Structure formats: C-alpha cells, structure tokens
Structure 1
Amino acid sequence: MGFKYAKRMENIKASEIRELLKLTQRPEIISFAGGLPAPELFPVDDFRKVSDKVLAEKGRIALQYGPTEGYNPLREKIASRMTKVGVKADFNDILIISGSQQGLDFTGKIFLDKDDIVLCESPSYLGAINAFKAYQPKFIEVPTDDNGMKMNELEEIIINNDKIKFIYVIPDFQNPSGRTWSLERRKKLLELSEKYNIPIVEDNPYGELRYDGKIPPAIKGLDTKGNVIFLGTFSKIFSPGIRLGWVCASEEALNKYILVKQGADLQASTISQLQLNQYIEEYSLDEHVDKIKNIYRRRRDLMIDTMKKEFPQDVKFTIPEGGLFTWVELPEHVNTRELAKKAIDNNVAFVPGGSFYPNAGNENAFRLNYSNMDEERIVKGIKILAKVIEEALQCEKSM
C-alpha cells in the first residue's frame, strides 16, 4: 500500500530470538534459544485457586481500571522484596509495569533523542538493544571481563563523548554472558555516574536466581543520590505470562515513567496484579523461588559438565553463578549464524552471539539457555551441538 511510516521504523527489525522461538515450537527441537522459565514449575493449581478467590471477593475491582502506579498492596510487597537484592525502598518508589521489557521501551522514550548515546556492556541484552533502537540512538559498547565493565575504559569513553544519556547494565548473571559484576566494579560505576551526572539503568531480572554464594547488593542498593533506575520483573521468579514488572527510581525519574505509562497503556493489568498479590499473601513466593533454583542449579551443572566432556578443547564457555544462560566462544573464524542453521537441521536451537552486539561483529559466540529443557534433552542437545561444532572446526581446518 506504500504508507509513509516514521523513519524510526527503519531501525526496528524482527527480534532474532523471537524468530528462532517460532522454529522451536516444533516438538522435536531441543531449544537452548529463549530465556524461558521451565513451564512445569509454574504454580498452576495454586494460581487457579487465588484467581477464583480474587474474582469471588474482589471481582469488581479486578475487572476495573486502576491507578497508573499500580495496586498499592502489591507495590508494598515489591518494595519489601527488594531487600533481597540489597535495596531499601518504599511503595512510593515503585511503578508496576507490563513486564520489564516495557520499562526498557519507556527508558528509550524518556531519555533518547536521535543520535544520543547509550553506553552498554559488550555484549548486551538483545531485547534492550531493540527497544532503544526505536529512538535512533548511537551505541557505544564498553569492554567487559568476568567482573563487569572495565571502569578505566568506561571513564575514557565518558570523557570523550558529550551526548551520553544513560549507562545500561545487567550486573547479575548478565544476559547473554552469565557473568556477575564484582562489588568493586558496582561501586566504581556508581562513583562515575555521580561524577559525570549520568544515570544508570540497572536491569535485574535474574538477581534472585543465585545458585552459588551470596547475593551481592544491587547497584541501586548502593545508590544514595538517586542516580540508578532499577528494572525488576516477576517473569523469571514466577511467570512471564502475567506480564508484571516494576521500576524503582527516585521521585523525579519515576514521575517521568508514570507519565509515559499513562500515555502507553494507562496501567498494568488490574486482575494480574490482584492475582499475584493474592498468591503472595496465601503462598510462599520464597519457597517457590527456592524450588526453581534447585531445578535450575541442577540443569546448569548438567549442561556445564556435559559441555566439559563433549565440546572441543578450543571452545570456551562461562560458568554462571546463577541466572539462565551460559556464553560460548568459538575460534574467531567460526560464524555461529551459519552454525545455528546446521544445529537447527539437527534439531537443536541456540541464539547466535552477533545479535547481542549493537554495532555488529563478534559472530563467533552464542548463548545457551539451560532452564527450559529437562535433563535428558540437555544432555542429548549438547552432544548433538558438540558434533556440529566439531564438524565446523574440521571443515575450517581442511579449507
């Protein structure tokens, strides 16, 4: 029809992960692609009971519009729960949103004009990259190691660029790398944020899913100046289908998110908020999270152990302390987009690593998820993938 669309649409591409997930609907596919929780762990029966109770006792409230900020009893529970990641918050510091992905989109809308600069880890979360791209920024990738962003290089980038709007980070079990920032790096990032007056957007979907050691304080938990905007979600610790997340920020910043929320969809789903609130009142969310952690820890260990046994020696991978992902690096000459096609032909799916670099390149890595497949399929899938990698490496050597 030839409609005249906004120029920003030229920057919006189909999510590679979402496209891969279409393929993984085939039952024969062993999928390590999406960041999906294990559906067999969803508390379906308990949630049905609380849903019936909400409709029976608060049906007229549940089916009505509600305040943009969210249902106050749930906001209070979120504020209380944030102490688990070291954040002291009041319910007035919380805005309930339709999944933390909406928070990423709102962040772009609030902060970014065309050609503004976003600083992010290298690599970084594909969903955030795509959300920000709609607002036509430029990305500068900050080099990282096992402890997080390299602070000397970050400060040099800040000094040499004057249109930086925010620093986007995932400090706990980073997506896609699985790495966790050291406490020293968290403190230094906050110091630089305060020194140069640049806000930090801290994305924390996985912080409670720690399998080894103690949970370090979120960067927001160290923040005394209101420089950190924290995005949280129930997608990984409860269910992605309810589409509930939150923003925790200073009054000034949170008011901007509230205004944008009003223009986007008025409010998060009232009935979902009441259902979740009722569940937390009647059941132990902590026990549910512990159950998830025990299963995911076992699956992580099994995947890592199988990779150690089956993968070629020149293949490197991270050993995450929590979260949902490990990051695999192959020799530089191997293109994992081509490898992904061969893996799909063998009924195994993963996400090629180039998708996680906003400025392209780095095609020799890929991300694996271990939360969604059962133990038998994890072992089978990794063995198949090891053969696909070995064949690719042998093919390169023979050329």
Structure 2
Amino acid sequence: MNYFIFIPLIFLLLIDFYFFQSNSDLFEKKLFNITFYKYLYWILSIVVYSIMFYHSYDYQNESKFVNMKPYIFSLIFVIYISKFIGIFSLLIDDLIRLFKVFFNLFQSNEDKVDLSRIKFLKNASLFTAAAVFSTLTYGMIVNRYRFKVYTQKIKIKNWPNSLNNFKIVHISDLHLGSFESIEKLEEAIDIINSKNPDLILFTGDLVNNSFTEIRPFKKSLQKLKSKYGNFSVLGNHDYGDYIGIKRNSNKWIKNFNNLIKTQEECGFKLLMNESTEVKINDASFNLVGVENWGAGNFNKDGDFDKAIENIDNNNPTILMSHDPSHWREVILNHDFNIDLQLSGHTHGMQFGIEIPSFKWSPIKYRYKEWAGLYKKNNKQIYVNRGLGHLAYTGRVGILPDISLLNISNEV
C-alpha cells in the first residue's frame, strides 16, 4: 500500500470541510423535505476518497493502474481544483472577519460590527468554482480529441535544394493508456496520412507506464504511412518508472524490452542513442535519436555523444529528443551543430491560451521552450504540444497537436 496517499486525502478532506462549512446555508436547503444537497456533497466526497484509497492499496497492479488512473485523477482533479480555487474568496472573507473580531474586542455591544460573511465574496466563491468546473469539464468532453494541425515552416541553411518543402509530420506524447477508443486514435492517423508526409517522427511517451497499453492500438499505428519511414525515440514514461517497479529488476526489464519490441512492430524505427542517414536520391541528412534526457530529477539515459559517433558532419542534422530541456542544457553548449531538435514532453500543460501571435501556459515557467519553434545561436528547437493527454483527460486552450513541418533552405 502507498501510505503517502493519506497526505492528499487529509488535504482534500480539509478543503471539503472548509468549502462545506462556508456554504452551509446552501447545502442545508431541503429538497423533498430532506437535506439532499448536504448528503449528495458528502456521498460524492466519500466515493472519491474510497476510489483513491482503493487505487493506492494496489497501486502496483499493472492493469488497474494503467486502465483506471487517468479517469480517477481527472475526476478528483476537476472536483477539487474547482473547490480549491473557489475557496480563495472565502479565505479573503475570513481574513476580513478576523480583523472584525479583533476590532470588536475594543467595542461595546452596540458598536460591534456584523461577523457574517460578505455576500459578494461568498457568491464569488460559488461562481468561481462553477466556472472552473465547467471549463475543465468542457476540456474533457470537447477538446480531448479535438486534433489540430499546426503548420510550421522551418529554414535549415544547408538543407539540400532537392529536398526543399520536405514534409515532416511530428507527433509526440500519445500516452496510449489514456486513449478512450481505437476510433479516436485512427481519426488522428487519418489526418496524419492525409498530409502525405515524407517522414513521420515521434518524440516519445508512447505509453503511460506499460507496454500492454499499446496492444489495442497496434494495428492502428501500423496504418501510419510516410514516404521515407517512421522514426521514434523514448520518453520518460516509456521506461515504466512510475508504477513502483525497481529499475533493472526482472519485471522492469521485461516491460522495457517488450515496449521496444512492440513499438518497432507498430512500424517505428526506434533510435536509441544512435543516428541514421536519410538518403533520398543524391541528397541526404542526418537523423539522430537519443533516449530520454531531462533536467532536474528526470532520468538521463540520453547519450548525445554516443548518438553522433561516426556521423557525417557535412550533412544537415535533425535531433529527436523527448525533453526540450535537453536542448538548453546540452545541445546549445555542444560543439556539434544540430540544425533542428524535435521534442515533446510539455503537453503545453494541456492548459493555456493560444491564439494567433500570442500563446501562454503556466508550463512556460518550468520550460522556456514549451510549444512551437524557438531559435538561439543558429540552433532551433520545435516542441510538439502532445497528441495524447496524461492525468487530466482533457485540454483547455492547448489542443492535441499534429505538427506539419515544412523544411527548406529558405522560407
């Protein structure tokens, strides 16, 4: 059993009590002569606590963890983030009431001020909670599979003239364990194939945790078509490190080897700290792929130096690396020139604002390069927003990403 579950449970219980107590007049209203809303509130809360407790009790049960966790987390997230944001105006109200209590200590009974809640702040709490709940629910129901094609022209100076307008479809972060149906994935695959890409490049996180997540989607992934091949790299979730299995144990090795085998059976050429030369008639370029390398506490299995051994320095080079922090921490400071790095990982936090000429997400404060194209020191990185979703099974503002990259030596 994962005993750390008691920490969030206690925190959520405190939120529940505070939100309930602050809006007690609403919950005490009767329906059919019973306090229906009060009972409904606590029944739903108890159901959530029970699901969390049950899930943590057997959190190493692979099938249960893989198949249930995204939906459980989304339920908990939507309900409690709505309450959590909603209580901020109540906290302001309680701070004001605290000052009133202090003020009343020095007043006669006739001059004491009313300690009841400020109606505006109380209503603001309910309105804010309802607005957040509605927005996140909309993100789950409507935006979750609202695939968007992001078209980007990219200039690489020494790109072969004969390969100008080379079309790469870049996808990332499928997280197949979070997909609801085969039909939704095939909808995205149809969009990809309709672009008639020269290459399909996938930059990691095919699964949430286990290779078994791929099985229902294997035949669908085999339908991905490109002129010159489909290539992939591993993301941090592809190692199976997040379900309590010790690295390099027999169970971990079995899962990891099966993931590699199954991914290649899906039609991807998996690049693991290695490179390949893509030759098209008399023109060619280098395609380099590294295992996951992430800043901070993320695993650093990626070995860029190993990947570029025996590489043709005269060719333009595209690097596939799951985590964009690899670019800022390693690639920008390396002597070898990478013309373009393709990454994913951030998901655009699945939350933000993206309109023409403006984009914002809280993830920008963790990753400086989090969505789209960035340039520095004659090097470039393009970050895909992710095709799938993780934890929260929805998206608000930042839609599922199919990136169509048009590569030329002039734009």
Relative to the length of structure 2, the TM-score reads: 0.24
Look at both structures and tell me which one has the larger radius of gyration over its CA atoms. 2
Higher relative contact order (CA 8 A, sep 6+): 1
Relative to the length of structure 1, the TM-score reads: 0.25
